[in-house]
C-alpha cells in the first residue's frame, strides 16, 4: 500500500511540474486578469493543457506505474519455467493473430485472479497476469483472458480512454471556472472584490467535485462498453468457448479480485452490482457472459 501511495504522489508531482513548465513556456495564465476580468481564450488553453496533458502524461507512464505498483516480473519465453514460457508463447501467438507488435509480458505475485493490459500505444504495451490467476485457471481459460487483454490493445482502448478522460477533465475545469466566476461576480458587491477571490476558489472546488462525479459516470460507462468489445475480440482471437470459459471461471472466483485499490480499478477484471455499477469500469460478470453468449461472430 505504501509503495502505491508513493507512486501516486510521485506521478502527480511529475505531472504538476511538467504542465506548469509547459504553461510557463506558452506564457499562459489561469485566465483571470484582475478583479472581475476573465480571458476566455487563455482559460480554454489553461484547462486544455491541464486536462489533456495530465491524462496523456499518465498514459505515457502507465507501463512503468503498473509494473512498479503491482511488482510485475517480465518474462521472455526463455525462463525455463514451463508456465511462464507457455504464457509468453500464448501471448505471442494471440498478438500475431491480431496483427500486433509483441507486448511486454509479465506475472505479478498476488492471490487475486486478475490480468490487465496497459501501455501508451499498440507498439508499447504490457500484458500481465497474477500468480493467482495462473493457479486458479485451466490453460484454455487463461488463453481466453489473455485474448481479452490483447483485444484491448488491438482496439486501442488505452489511448481512447485517455482522450475521453482528458476531454472530460478539460471541460470540468473550464465549466467550473466559468460558473464560479459568474456566481462570485454576481453575488459580490463592488467593495468586496478582494474577498471574493477565496470564495471563487471554494466554488470552483465544489463545482469540480460535482462535475467530476458526473464525468466519472461517462468514463465508467464507456469503459464498460469497451469490456464488452474486448470480450468479443477475445472470442475472435481465442475462440468463443475459451472466452466464455474464462468468464465463467472468473465468476466462480470473483471473491479473489482485490477491489480495495481504486487507483487501479481499470486494471481489475470483475465489476460490481447494484447502483454502484454506474461507477464501475467493468460490467457485472454475468452481463458479460450473457452478452458473449448472444455474440455470433
Residue 279: predicted pLDDT: 81
Percent above pLDDT 90 for the chain? 54
User: Of 149, 192, 255, 286, which is the active-site residue?
Assistant: 149
Give the residue, 245 or 49, on which the prediction is more confident.
Answer: 245
CA distances from 61 to 10, 288, 291 (A): 11, 30, 33
Q: Is the pLDDT of residue 4 over 90?
A: no
- Asked if residue 2 has pLDDT above 70, the reply is no
More confident: 48 or 260: 48
How far CA 89 is from CA of 83, 131, 141, 184, in Å, comes to: 10, 17, 15, 61
Is 149 catalytic? The answer is yes
Domains of the chain, start order:
71-155 (3.30.2010.10)
User: For the segment 71-123, what is each residue's pLDDT rounded down to a tens digit?
Assistant: 999 999 999 999 999 999 999 999 999 999 999 999 999 998 999 999 999 99
Question: DSSP characters for the chain?
Answer: -HHHHHHHHHHHHHHHHHHHHHHHHHT---SB-STT-B-HHHHHHHHHHHHHHHHHHHHHTHHHHHHHHHT-EEE-S-SS-HHHHHHHHHHHHHHHHTT-PPPEEEEE--SS--EEEEEEETTEEEEEEEHHHHHHS-HHHHHHHHHHHHHHHHHTHHHHHHHHHHHHHHHHHHHHHHHHHHHHHHH--GGGTTTHHHHHHHHHHHHHHHHHHHHHHHHHHHHHHHHHHHHHHHHHHH-HHHHHHHHHHHHHTGGGS--S-GGGGGG-S----GGGGGG-SS--HHHHHHHHHH---
Using CA of residue 155, residue 156, residue 157, residue 163, what is the dihedral sign? negative
Question: Tens digits of per-residue pLDDT, 222-273?
Answer: 999 999 999 999 999 999 999 999 999 988 876 655 544 443 444 455 555 5
Contacts of residue 107, defined as CB under 8 A and 6 or more positions apart, other chains included, come to 72, 73, 75, 84, 87, 128, 129, 130, 131, 134
Please, what sign has the CA dihedral across residues 270, 272, 278, 279? negative
Residue 190 has pLDDT above 80, yes or no: no
Q: Give the residues across from 32 on adjacent strands.
A: 38
Q: Which residues contact 255 (CB under 8 A, 6 or more apart)?
A: none
For position 54, what pLDDT does the model report? 84
Amino acid at each position: 500500500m505504501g509503495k502505491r501511495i508513493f507512486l501516486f504522489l510521485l506521478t502527480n508531482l511529475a505531472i504538476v511540474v511538467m504542465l506548469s513548465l509547459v504553461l510557463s513556456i506558452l506564457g499562459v495564465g489561469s485566465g483571470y486578469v484582475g478583479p472581475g476580468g476573465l480571458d476566455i481564450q487563455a482559460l480554454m488553453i489553461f484547462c486544455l493543457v491541464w486536462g489533456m496533458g495530465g491524462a496523456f502524461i499518465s498514459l505515457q507512464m502507465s507501463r512503468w506505474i503498473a509494473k512498479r505498483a503491482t511488482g510485475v516480473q517480465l518474462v521472455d519465453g526463455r525462463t525455463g519455467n514451463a508456465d511462464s514460457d507457455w504464457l509468453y508463447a500464448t501471448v505471442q501467438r494471440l498478438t500475431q493473430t491480431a496483427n500486433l507488435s509483441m507486448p511486454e509480458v509479465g506475472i505479478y505475485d498476488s492471490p487475486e485472479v486478475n490480468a490487465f493490459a496497459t501501455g501508451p500505444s499498440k507498439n508499447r504495451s504490457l500484458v500481465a497476469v497474477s500468480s493467482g490467476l495462473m493457479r486458479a485457471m485451466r490453460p484454455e481459460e487463461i488463453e481466453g483472458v489473455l485474448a481479452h487483454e490483447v483485444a484491448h490493445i488491438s482496439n486501442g482502448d488505452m489511448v481512447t480512454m485517455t482522450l475521453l478522460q482528458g476531454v472530460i477533465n478539460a471541460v470540468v475545469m473550464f465549466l467550473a471556472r466559468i460558473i464560479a466566476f459568474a456566481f462570485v461576480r454576481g453575488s459580490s458587491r463592488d467593495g468586496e472584490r478582494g474577498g471574493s477571490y477565496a470564495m471563487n476558489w471554494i466554488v470552483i472546488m465544489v463545482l469540480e467535485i460535482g462535475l467530476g462525479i458526473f464525468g466519472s459516470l461517462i468514463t465508467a460507462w464507456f469503459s464498460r462498453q469497451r469490456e464488452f468489445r474486448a470480450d468479443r475480440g477475445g472470442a475472435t482471437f481465442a475462440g468463443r468457448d475459451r472466452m466464455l470459459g474464462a468468464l465463467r471461471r472468473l465468476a466462480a472466483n470473483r471473491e479473489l479480485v482485490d477491489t480495495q485499490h481504486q487507483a487501479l480499478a481499470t486494471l481489475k477484471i470483475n465489476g460490481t452490482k447494484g447502483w454502484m455499477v454506474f461507477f464501475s469500469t467493468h460490467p457485472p460478470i454475468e452481463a458479460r457472459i450473457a452478452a458473449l453468449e448472444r455474440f455470433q461472430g
